[in-house]
A and B are shown apart, each in its own frame.
Chain A
Amino acid sequence: MFNTTIIIKSLPLLLEASVWTVVYSLTSVAIGFCIGTLMCAARLSTSPAARRVSAFYVSFFRGVPLLVQLLISYYCLPLVGINVPSSVAAVGTLALCTGAYITEILRGGFLGIPAGLIEAARMVGLSRTQILTRIEVPLAVRFTLPSLVNETTMMVKASSLISVVGVLELTRLAQNIATSTFQPLEIYLTAGAIYFVINGVITLLGALLESRFQLEAAR
Protein backbone atom coordinates (compact mmCIF):
# COMPACT_ATOMS: atom_id res chain seq x y z
CA MET A 1 0.00 0.00 0.00
CA PHE A 2 1.21 3.43 -0.89
CA ASN A 3 1.55 5.39 2.32
CA THR A 4 0.63 9.06 1.79
CA THR A 5 0.69 10.10 5.45
CA ILE A 6 4.41 9.45 5.66
CA ILE A 7 4.93 11.71 2.64
CA ILE A 8 2.90 14.53 4.16
CA LYS A 9 4.70 14.14 7.48
CA SER A 10 8.21 14.14 6.05
CA LEU A 11 7.66 16.72 3.31
CA PRO A 12 8.55 19.78 5.44
CA LEU A 13 11.83 18.15 6.49
CA LEU A 14 12.68 17.16 2.92
CA LEU A 15 11.92 20.65 1.65
CA GLU A 16 14.15 22.12 4.32
CA ALA A 17 16.97 19.81 3.26
CA SER A 18 16.41 20.67 -0.38
CA VAL A 19 17.41 24.24 0.42
CA TRP A 20 20.87 22.85 1.13
CA THR A 21 20.83 20.98 -2.17
CA VAL A 22 20.09 24.25 -3.97
CA VAL A 23 22.69 26.19 -1.98
CA TYR A 24 25.42 23.59 -2.50
CA SER A 25 24.78 23.10 -6.20
CA LEU A 26 24.37 26.78 -7.09
CA THR A 27 27.45 27.72 -5.07
CA SER A 28 29.51 25.11 -6.85
CA VAL A 29 28.22 26.25 -10.25
CA ALA A 30 29.11 29.86 -9.41
CA ILE A 31 32.63 28.90 -8.30
CA GLY A 32 32.89 26.48 -11.19
CA PHE A 33 31.99 29.27 -13.62
CA CYS A 34 34.90 31.38 -12.35
CA ILE A 35 37.26 28.40 -12.59
CA GLY A 36 35.87 27.63 -16.03
CA THR A 37 36.42 31.19 -17.28
CA LEU A 38 40.02 31.18 -16.06
CA MET A 39 40.75 27.72 -17.44
CA CYS A 40 39.14 28.66 -20.74
CA ALA A 41 41.29 31.80 -20.94
CA ALA A 42 44.32 29.61 -20.20
CA ARG A 43 43.27 27.12 -22.88
CA LEU A 44 42.93 29.85 -25.49
CA SER A 45 46.08 31.72 -24.43
CA THR A 46 49.35 31.66 -26.33
CA SER A 47 51.32 30.14 -23.45
CA PRO A 48 51.88 26.41 -24.04
CA ALA A 49 52.24 25.79 -20.29
CA ALA A 50 48.88 27.41 -19.50
CA ARG A 51 47.25 25.47 -22.31
CA ARG A 52 48.65 22.20 -20.99
CA VAL A 53 47.52 22.87 -17.41
CA SER A 54 44.01 23.65 -18.64
CA ALA A 55 43.84 20.56 -20.86
CA PHE A 56 45.07 18.36 -18.01
CA TYR A 57 42.54 19.84 -15.60
CA VAL A 58 39.64 19.30 -17.99
CA SER A 59 40.71 15.80 -18.86
CA PHE A 60 41.11 14.70 -15.23
CA PHE A 61 37.92 16.14 -13.79
CA ARG A 62 35.83 14.96 -16.71
CA GLY A 63 37.57 11.61 -16.84
CA VAL A 64 37.10 10.48 -13.24
CA PRO A 65 33.65 9.72 -11.80
CA LEU A 66 32.46 12.48 -9.48
CA LEU A 67 31.88 9.91 -6.74
CA VAL A 68 35.55 8.95 -6.88
CA GLN A 69 36.58 12.62 -6.77
CA LEU A 70 34.39 13.10 -3.71
CA LEU A 71 35.88 10.05 -2.00
CA ILE A 72 39.38 11.31 -2.73
CA SER A 73 38.67 14.74 -1.25
CA TYR A 74 36.90 13.18 1.73
CA TYR A 75 39.57 10.63 2.62
CA CYS A 76 42.75 12.18 1.24
CA LEU A 77 42.54 15.87 2.16
CA PRO A 78 43.04 15.11 5.88
CA LEU A 79 46.00 12.89 4.98
CA VAL A 80 47.82 15.90 3.54
CA GLY A 81 46.90 18.04 6.52
CA ILE A 82 43.91 19.87 5.08
CA ASN A 83 41.08 19.70 7.59
CA VAL A 84 37.94 21.43 6.35
CA PRO A 85 34.29 20.59 7.03
CA SER A 86 33.08 17.84 4.74
CA SER A 87 30.52 20.20 3.19
CA VAL A 88 33.28 22.62 2.15
CA ALA A 89 35.40 19.82 0.67
CA ALA A 90 32.34 18.49 -1.15
CA VAL A 91 31.33 21.86 -2.63
CA GLY A 92 34.95 22.44 -3.65
CA THR A 93 34.99 19.10 -5.46
CA LEU A 94 31.66 19.78 -7.16
CA ALA A 95 32.99 23.18 -8.26
CA LEU A 96 36.18 21.69 -9.71
CA CYS A 97 34.17 19.04 -11.53
CA THR A 98 31.60 21.40 -13.04
CA GLY A 99 34.39 23.89 -13.77
CA ALA A 100 35.91 21.35 -16.15
CA TYR A 101 32.65 21.00 -18.06
CA ILE A 102 32.09 24.77 -18.06
CA THR A 103 35.60 25.27 -19.45
CA GLU A 104 34.69 23.18 -22.47
CA ILE A 105 31.29 24.84 -22.86
CA LEU A 106 32.78 28.34 -22.74
CA ARG A 107 35.58 27.36 -25.10
CA GLY A 108 32.98 26.58 -27.73
CA GLY A 109 31.33 29.92 -26.99
CA PHE A 110 34.54 31.93 -27.23
CA LEU A 111 35.55 30.29 -30.49
CA GLY A 112 32.10 31.08 -31.89
CA ILE A 113 32.46 34.84 -31.47
CA PRO A 114 32.94 36.47 -34.89
CA ALA A 115 36.41 38.06 -35.09
CA GLY A 116 34.88 41.31 -36.34
CA LEU A 117 33.19 42.00 -33.01
CA ILE A 118 36.57 41.88 -31.27
CA GLU A 119 38.16 44.06 -33.96
CA ALA A 120 35.40 46.62 -33.50
CA ALA A 121 36.15 46.70 -29.76
CA ARG A 122 39.87 47.15 -30.44
CA MET A 123 39.17 49.97 -32.89
CA VAL A 124 37.23 51.97 -30.29
CA GLY A 125 40.13 51.53 -27.91
CA LEU A 126 38.90 48.96 -25.38
CA SER A 127 41.71 47.29 -23.44
CA ARG A 128 42.40 43.55 -23.53
CA THR A 129 40.68 43.06 -20.16
CA GLN A 130 37.70 45.18 -21.12
CA ILE A 131 37.27 43.21 -24.32
CA LEU A 132 37.31 39.99 -22.28
CA THR A 133 34.91 41.08 -19.56
CA ARG A 134 32.56 43.37 -21.51
CA ILE A 135 32.44 41.76 -24.93
CA GLU A 136 33.75 38.20 -24.97
CA VAL A 137 32.39 36.78 -21.70
CA PRO A 138 28.86 38.23 -22.11
CA LEU A 139 28.72 36.97 -25.70
CA ALA A 140 30.13 33.55 -24.85
CA VAL A 141 27.59 33.20 -22.03
CA ARG A 142 24.76 34.14 -24.36
CA PHE A 143 25.91 31.74 -27.06
CA THR A 144 26.25 28.90 -24.55
CA LEU A 145 23.34 29.66 -22.24
CA PRO A 146 21.40 26.45 -22.96
CA SER A 147 24.49 24.38 -22.18
CA LEU A 148 25.22 26.35 -19.02
CA VAL A 149 21.65 25.93 -17.79
CA ASN A 150 21.86 22.23 -18.57
CA GLU A 151 25.13 22.01 -16.67
CA THR A 152 23.44 23.66 -13.67
CA THR A 153 20.69 21.03 -13.64
CA MET A 154 23.36 18.33 -13.94
CA MET A 155 25.01 19.75 -10.84
CA VAL A 156 21.74 19.78 -8.90
CA LYS A 157 21.51 16.07 -9.66
CA ALA A 158 25.19 15.42 -9.03
CA SER A 159 24.97 17.11 -5.65
CA SER A 160 23.01 14.06 -4.45
CA LEU A 161 26.34 12.20 -4.45
CA ILE A 162 27.73 14.34 -1.65
CA SER A 163 25.37 12.43 0.64
CA VAL A 164 27.82 9.54 0.30
CA VAL A 165 30.54 11.55 2.07
CA GLY A 166 28.18 12.46 4.88
CA VAL A 167 27.00 15.93 3.89
CA LEU A 168 23.41 16.58 4.90
CA GLU A 169 21.25 17.56 1.94
CA LEU A 170 18.11 16.23 0.30
CA THR A 171 19.34 12.75 -0.57
CA ARG A 172 21.05 12.22 2.78
CA LEU A 173 17.98 13.27 4.71
CA ALA A 174 15.78 11.07 2.54
CA GLN A 175 18.06 8.15 3.38
CA ASN A 176 17.80 8.91 7.10
CA ILE A 177 14.01 9.10 7.00
CA ALA A 178 13.71 6.04 4.76
CA THR A 179 15.75 3.84 7.09
CA SER A 180 13.96 5.01 10.22
CA THR A 181 10.41 4.74 8.82
CA PHE A 182 10.89 1.68 6.57
CA GLN A 183 8.99 3.46 3.78
CA PRO A 184 11.79 3.89 1.22
CA LEU A 185 9.57 3.97 -1.89
CA GLU A 186 7.44 6.89 -0.73
CA ILE A 187 10.37 8.89 0.64
CA TYR A 188 12.65 8.44 -2.38
CA LEU A 189 9.86 9.19 -4.83
CA THR A 190 9.14 12.39 -2.91
CA ALA A 191 12.81 13.33 -2.93
CA GLY A 192 12.94 12.60 -6.66
CA ALA A 193 9.91 14.81 -7.20
CA ILE A 194 11.59 17.67 -5.34
CA TYR A 195 14.72 17.35 -7.50
CA PHE A 196 12.48 17.27 -10.56
CA VAL A 197 10.75 20.49 -9.51
CA ILE A 198 14.04 22.25 -8.71
CA ASN A 199 15.40 21.35 -12.12
CA GLY A 200 12.11 22.29 -13.76
CA VAL A 201 12.34 25.75 -12.23
CA ILE A 202 15.98 26.14 -13.32
CA THR A 203 15.14 25.06 -16.87
CA LEU A 204 12.22 27.47 -16.94
CA LEU A 205 14.34 30.38 -15.70
CA GLY A 206 16.96 29.45 -18.28
CA ALA A 207 14.36 29.46 -21.05
CA LEU A 208 13.10 32.87 -19.93
CA LEU A 209 16.62 34.27 -19.91
CA GLU A 210 17.28 32.72 -23.30
CA SER A 211 14.18 34.21 -24.90
CA ARG A 212 15.26 37.60 -23.59
CA PHE A 213 18.70 37.17 -25.09
CA GLN A 214 17.33 35.83 -28.33
CA LEU A 215 15.62 39.15 -28.93
CA GLU A 216 19.04 40.76 -28.88
CA ALA A 217 21.18 38.16 -30.51
CA ALA A 218 19.26 36.82 -33.48
CA ARG A 219 20.48 38.38 -36.67
Chain B
Amino acid sequence: MTFNPAILLDNWRDLLDGLVLTLLIWVVGTVLGLAIGLVVATLQLFTNRWVAAPLTFYVALMRGTPFLIQLFVIYYGGPSFGLDLSPLTAGICGLALYGGAYFAEIFRAGFVSVSPGQIEAARMMGIGRLDIVRHVQLPQMLVIILPALANMTVLLSKETAVLSVITVNELTSVVQSIGSTTFAFAETLLFLALVYWALLEIVTAAARRLEKRVGRFMLRAQG
Protein backbone atom coordinates (compact mmCIF):
# COMPACT_ATOMS: atom_id res chain seq x y z
CA MET B 1 0.00 0.00 0.00
CA THR B 2 1.35 3.39 -0.97
CA PHE B 3 0.61 6.52 0.94
CA ASN B 4 0.66 9.71 -1.08
CA PRO B 5 -0.59 12.82 0.69
CA ALA B 6 0.33 14.96 -2.34
CA ILE B 7 -3.02 14.01 -3.82
CA LEU B 8 -4.61 16.26 -1.22
CA LEU B 9 -2.49 19.20 -2.32
CA ASP B 10 -3.36 18.58 -5.96
CA ASN B 11 -7.04 18.94 -5.14
CA TRP B 12 -6.88 21.67 -2.52
CA ARG B 13 -9.35 23.89 -4.34
CA ASP B 14 -12.11 21.28 -4.42
CA LEU B 15 -11.44 20.35 -0.83
CA LEU B 16 -11.66 23.97 0.28
CA ASP B 17 -14.95 24.41 -1.61
CA GLY B 18 -16.28 21.27 0.08
CA LEU B 19 -15.27 22.49 3.50
CA VAL B 20 -16.86 25.89 2.96
CA LEU B 21 -20.09 24.25 1.83
CA THR B 22 -20.05 21.93 4.87
CA LEU B 23 -19.68 24.92 7.20
CA LEU B 24 -22.41 26.83 5.36
CA ILE B 25 -24.86 23.93 5.58
CA TRP B 26 -24.08 23.50 9.24
CA VAL B 27 -24.50 27.15 10.21
CA VAL B 28 -27.66 27.74 8.18
CA GLY B 29 -29.17 24.39 9.24
CA THR B 30 -28.44 25.08 12.91
CA VAL B 31 -29.85 28.61 12.88
CA LEU B 32 -33.03 27.47 11.14
CA GLY B 33 -33.24 24.48 13.48
CA LEU B 34 -32.96 26.71 16.55
CA ALA B 35 -35.76 28.91 15.22
CA ILE B 36 -37.98 25.90 14.49
CA GLY B 37 -37.22 24.44 17.91
CA LEU B 38 -38.08 27.61 19.80
CA VAL B 39 -41.33 28.13 17.91
CA VAL B 40 -42.37 24.50 18.28
CA ALA B 41 -41.60 24.40 22.00
CA THR B 42 -43.45 27.66 22.64
CA LEU B 43 -46.50 26.51 20.69
CA GLN B 44 -46.44 23.12 22.40
CA LEU B 45 -46.54 24.69 25.84
CA PHE B 46 -48.74 27.71 25.33
CA THR B 47 -51.47 26.68 22.92
CA ASN B 48 -54.28 24.18 22.98
CA ARG B 49 -53.87 20.49 22.38
CA TRP B 50 -55.00 20.68 18.75
CA VAL B 51 -51.87 22.61 17.96
CA ALA B 52 -49.62 20.82 20.44
CA ALA B 53 -50.47 17.23 19.51
CA PRO B 54 -49.31 17.39 15.86
CA LEU B 55 -46.15 19.20 16.96
CA THR B 56 -45.43 16.52 19.53
CA PHE B 57 -45.89 13.97 16.77
CA TYR B 58 -43.48 15.89 14.52
CA VAL B 59 -40.86 15.92 17.26
CA ALA B 60 -41.28 12.20 17.97
CA LEU B 61 -41.15 11.39 14.25
CA MET B 62 -37.97 13.32 13.57
CA ARG B 63 -36.29 11.85 16.63
CA GLY B 64 -37.50 8.33 15.97
CA THR B 65 -36.46 7.92 12.33
CA PRO B 66 -33.05 8.01 10.63
CA PHE B 67 -31.88 11.33 9.26
CA LEU B 68 -30.97 9.58 6.01
CA ILE B 69 -34.56 8.39 5.49
CA GLN B 70 -35.80 11.92 6.19
CA LEU B 71 -33.48 13.26 3.51
CA PHE B 72 -34.70 10.61 1.07
CA VAL B 73 -38.34 11.52 1.75
CA ILE B 74 -37.69 15.23 1.15
CA TYR B 75 -35.32 14.91 -1.80
CA TYR B 76 -36.63 11.87 -3.69
CA GLY B 77 -40.19 11.91 -2.38
CA GLY B 78 -40.67 15.69 -2.60
CA PRO B 79 -41.49 15.79 -6.34
CA SER B 80 -44.46 13.47 -5.69
CA PHE B 81 -46.17 16.32 -3.87
CA GLY B 82 -44.82 19.08 -6.06
CA LEU B 83 -41.75 19.90 -3.94
CA ASP B 84 -38.85 19.84 -6.37
CA LEU B 85 -35.82 20.97 -4.39
CA SER B 86 -32.15 21.06 -5.30
CA PRO B 87 -29.99 18.64 -3.29
CA LEU B 88 -28.52 21.53 -1.29
CA THR B 89 -31.90 23.07 -0.39
CA ALA B 90 -33.37 19.69 0.47
CA GLY B 91 -30.34 18.93 2.60
CA ILE B 92 -30.45 22.19 4.54
CA CYS B 93 -34.22 21.89 5.07
CA GLY B 94 -33.75 18.32 6.25
CA LEU B 95 -31.02 19.30 8.67
CA ALA B 96 -33.12 22.17 10.03
CA LEU B 97 -36.21 20.00 10.49
CA TYR B 98 -34.17 17.24 12.10
CA GLY B 99 -32.27 19.56 14.42
CA GLY B 100 -35.43 21.56 15.12
CA ALA B 101 -37.10 18.54 16.72
CA TYR B 102 -34.16 18.02 19.09
CA PHE B 103 -33.88 21.74 19.84
CA ALA B 104 -37.64 21.81 20.60
CA GLU B 105 -37.18 19.15 23.26
CA ILE B 106 -34.30 21.08 24.80
CA PHE B 107 -36.27 24.34 24.87
CA ARG B 108 -39.27 22.57 26.35
CA ALA B 109 -37.18 21.16 29.19
CA GLY B 110 -35.83 24.67 29.72
CA PHE B 111 -39.29 26.22 29.95
CA VAL B 112 -40.32 23.63 32.50
CA SER B 113 -37.21 24.29 34.58
CA VAL B 114 -38.35 27.80 35.47
CA SER B 115 -40.48 27.59 38.62
CA PRO B 116 -44.25 28.05 38.14
CA GLY B 117 -44.35 30.53 41.02
CA GLN B 118 -42.35 33.06 39.03
CA ILE B 119 -44.70 32.76 36.09
CA GLU B 120 -47.72 33.13 38.34
CA ALA B 121 -46.16 36.26 39.80
CA ALA B 122 -45.58 37.66 36.32
CA ARG B 123 -49.11 36.82 35.31
CA MET B 124 -50.46 38.53 38.41
CA MET B 125 -48.64 41.66 37.32
CA GLY B 126 -50.47 41.43 34.02
CA ILE B 127 -47.45 40.61 31.86
CA GLY B 128 -48.46 39.04 28.55
CA ARG B 129 -47.70 35.46 27.60
CA LEU B 130 -44.99 36.21 25.06
CA ASP B 131 -43.38 38.78 27.33
CA ILE B 132 -43.21 36.22 30.13
CA VAL B 133 -41.48 33.88 27.71
CA ARG B 134 -39.09 36.57 26.53
CA HIS B 135 -38.27 38.35 29.76
CA VAL B 136 -38.84 35.84 32.54
CA GLN B 137 -38.31 32.37 31.13
CA LEU B 138 -35.81 32.61 28.28
CA PRO B 139 -33.10 34.52 30.15
CA GLN B 140 -33.16 32.05 33.04
CA MET B 141 -33.39 28.88 31.02
CA LEU B 142 -30.75 29.77 28.47
CA VAL B 143 -27.99 29.23 31.02
CA ILE B 144 -29.46 25.88 31.97
CA ILE B 145 -29.95 24.60 28.44
CA LEU B 146 -26.81 26.08 26.90
CA PRO B 147 -24.74 22.88 27.30
CA ALA B 148 -27.51 20.82 25.67
CA LEU B 149 -27.88 23.32 22.82
CA ALA B 150 -24.13 23.36 22.25
CA ASN B 151 -24.03 19.58 22.30
CA MET B 152 -26.77 19.33 19.69
CA THR B 153 -25.10 21.92 17.50
CA VAL B 154 -21.92 19.84 17.57
CA LEU B 155 -23.90 16.71 16.67
CA LEU B 156 -25.46 18.49 13.70
CA SER B 157 -22.02 19.31 12.29
CA LYS B 158 -21.44 15.57 11.96
CA GLU B 159 -24.83 14.98 10.35
CA THR B 160 -23.85 17.29 7.47
CA ALA B 161 -21.72 14.42 6.13
CA VAL B 162 -24.91 12.44 5.44
CA LEU B 163 -25.89 15.04 2.82
CA SER B 164 -23.25 13.52 0.56
CA VAL B 165 -25.63 10.59 0.00
CA ILE B 166 -28.12 12.89 -1.77
CA THR B 167 -25.25 14.26 -3.90
CA VAL B 168 -24.67 17.54 -2.08
CA ASN B 169 -21.10 18.55 -2.93
CA GLU B 170 -19.92 19.06 0.63
CA LEU B 171 -16.62 17.87 2.05
CA THR B 172 -17.40 14.15 2.39
CA SER B 173 -18.76 14.05 -1.13
CA VAL B 174 -15.72 15.87 -2.55
CA VAL B 175 -13.34 13.53 -0.76
CA GLN B 176 -15.20 10.45 -1.97
CA SER B 177 -15.04 11.58 -5.58
CA ILE B 178 -11.32 12.36 -5.29
CA GLY B 179 -10.89 8.92 -3.73
CA SER B 180 -12.73 7.10 -6.46
CA THR B 181 -10.85 8.84 -9.29
CA THR B 182 -7.38 8.47 -7.75
CA PHE B 183 -7.96 5.31 -5.66
CA ALA B 184 -6.14 7.09 -2.84
CA PHE B 185 -8.81 6.15 -0.30
CA ALA B 186 -6.52 5.90 2.68
CA GLU B 187 -5.03 9.39 2.30
CA THR B 188 -8.26 11.13 1.47
CA LEU B 189 -10.51 9.44 4.03
CA LEU B 190 -8.03 9.80 6.88
CA PHE B 191 -7.64 13.46 5.97
CA LEU B 192 -11.43 13.76 6.01
CA ALA B 193 -11.64 12.17 9.47
CA LEU B 194 -8.96 14.51 10.78
CA VAL B 195 -10.72 17.60 9.43
CA TYR B 196 -14.02 16.67 11.08
CA TRP B 197 -12.26 15.71 14.27
CA ALA B 198 -10.38 19.00 14.43
CA LEU B 199 -13.55 20.92 13.59
CA LEU B 200 -15.46 19.18 16.36
CA GLU B 201 -12.74 19.67 18.94
CA ILE B 202 -12.58 23.37 18.12
CA VAL B 203 -16.35 23.83 18.28
CA THR B 204 -16.60 21.84 21.50
CA ALA B 205 -13.84 23.86 23.15
CA ALA B 206 -15.50 27.09 22.05
CA ALA B 207 -18.82 25.91 23.47
CA ARG B 208 -17.21 25.10 26.83
CA ARG B 209 -15.73 28.58 26.99
CA LEU B 210 -19.02 30.16 26.14
CA GLU B 211 -20.76 28.14 28.87
CA LYS B 212 -18.17 29.23 31.39
CA ARG B 213 -18.53 32.87 30.45
CA VAL B 214 -22.29 32.82 30.54
CA GLY B 215 -22.14 30.98 33.87
CA ARG B 216 -19.83 33.64 35.29
CA PHE B 217 -22.01 36.39 33.90
CA MET B 218 -25.08 34.91 35.51
CA LEU B 219 -23.28 34.54 38.84
CA ARG B 220 -22.35 38.19 38.74
CA ALA B 221 -25.88 39.16 37.72
CA GLN B 222 -27.31 37.27 40.66
CA GLY B 223 -24.66 38.31 43.17
Contact = CB atoms under 8 A, between A and B. Distances in A.
Interface of A: 2, 59-60, 62-69, 71-72, 75-76, 79-80, 153, 156-161, 163-164, 171, 174-175, 178, 183-186, 188-189, 191-192, 195-196, 199-200
Contacts of A191: 69
Interface residues of B, number: 37
B59 to A, nearest CB: 12
A18 to B, nearest CB: 12
B64 A188 contact: no
Query: Mostly helix, strand, loop or mixed at chain A's interface?
Result: helix
Given A66-B158, A184-B77, A196-B61, A72 B72 contact: no
Interface string B96-139: 00000000000000000000000000000000000000000000
A76 B186 contact: yes
A199 B158 contact: no
A168 B65 CA distance: 18
B176 A178 contact: no
A67 B161 contact: yes
Contact of B201 (A63, A75, A174): A63
Interface string B58-94: 0011001111111011001110110000000000000
Given A65-B158, A80-B1, A196 B65 contact: yes
Contacts of A200: 64
A63 B158 CA distance: 8
Contacts of B64: 153, 157, 195-196, 199-200
